[in-house]
């Protein structure tokens, strides 16, 4: 965190995010009881909605840094992904497409800087003290954001990552009978924070009831999904389909 940002926080010019507060408390080795109180205050004070346009004006790569800090402060990260694979699993070619605007009114961003920041955030996957659960729909795996050749590599990459001890990739197949629609992407950090993504921005939910509701939703979808070796085999099968269709 830059000295200028610390100064703006100290002078009340900007409101620190929960991730900012957690990083400061950890750096200052604040006792656990006091830290919990301060984090609770930060959660209550923070604005629930942040638009991507606001992030783009500051530099979208800064959003990636905040996400990385949030993950680093969590023991268990669960992500529900009905539309596309998480940035933590994306290859650079896939990222560039994901960051490229498709609407005329979309904010202008530095794509290469955002890609590099996202690649840096992927290093957290190597921390085996943390557990990651990525729950994707079959549509998220199959949707063609890029050409067949890159799609084949992207899905194969996810299959390889799924064998790591601290990473659980689950796939909700088209064939499953699921009595609830996958309405939006959401990320759960331990049992303290949910971030739901929209086209225009992200909504943070910190109330314990909201967090518990999303934990239960996640478990509901997970119970209908392919997991373990079955999920890995499914990913390899889809990667092979993309490779063959390329020919």
Residue 87 has pLDDT above 60, yes or no: yes
Classify 225 as helix, strand or coil. coil
Q: Write out the DSSP string of 176-188.
A: S--SS---SEEEE
Question: Which two three-digit tokens encode residue 191?
Answer: 């049992």
Residue 246 pLDDT: 63
Residue 105 pLDDT: 84
Q: Residue 69's pLDDT band (boundaries 50, 70, 90)?
A: confident
* pLDDT tens digits, 37-60: 888 788 767 657 778 777 777 676
Residue 47 pLDDT: 54
Question: Which two three-digit tokens encode residue 32?
Answer: 């656990």
Domain ranges for the chain: 74-246
Low-confidence winner among 43-47, 139-143, 211-215 (lowest mean pLDDT): 43-47
Q: Does domain 74-246 have CATH number 2.60.120?
A: no
Distances (CA, A) of 51 to 70, 116, 180, 196: 18, 21, 27, 12
């Amino acid at each position: 965190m830059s000295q200028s940002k610390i100064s703006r926080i100290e002078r009340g010019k900007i409101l620190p995010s929960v991730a900012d507060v957690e990083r400061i408390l950890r750096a200052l080795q604040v006792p656990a009881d006091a830290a919990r109180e301060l984090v609770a205050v930060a959660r209550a004070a923070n604005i629930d909605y942040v638009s991507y346009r606001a992030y783009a004006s500051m530099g979208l790569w800064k959003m990636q840094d905040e996400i990385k800090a949030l993950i680093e402060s969590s023991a268990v990260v669960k992500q529900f992904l009905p539309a596309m694979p998480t940035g933590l699993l994306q290859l650079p070619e896939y990222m560039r497409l994901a960051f490229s605007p498709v609407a005329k009114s979309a904010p202008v961003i530095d794509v290469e800087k955002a890609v590099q920041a996202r690649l840096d955030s992927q290093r957290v996957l190597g921390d085996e003290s943390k557990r990651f659960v990525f729950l994707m729909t079959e549509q998220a795996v199959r949707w063609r954001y890029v050409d067949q050749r890159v799609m084949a590599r992207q899905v194969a990459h996810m299959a390889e990552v799924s064998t790591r001890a601290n990473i659980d990739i689950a796939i909700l197949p088209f064939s499953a009978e699921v009595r609830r629609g996958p309405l939006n992407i959401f990320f759960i950090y331990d049992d303290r924070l949910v971030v739901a993504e929209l086209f225009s921005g992200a909504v943070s939910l910190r109330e314990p009831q909201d967090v518990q509701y999303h934990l239960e939703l996640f478990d509901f979808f997970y119970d209908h999904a392919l997991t373990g070796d079955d999920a890995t085999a499914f990913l390899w099968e889809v990667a092979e389909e993309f490779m063959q269709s390329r020919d």
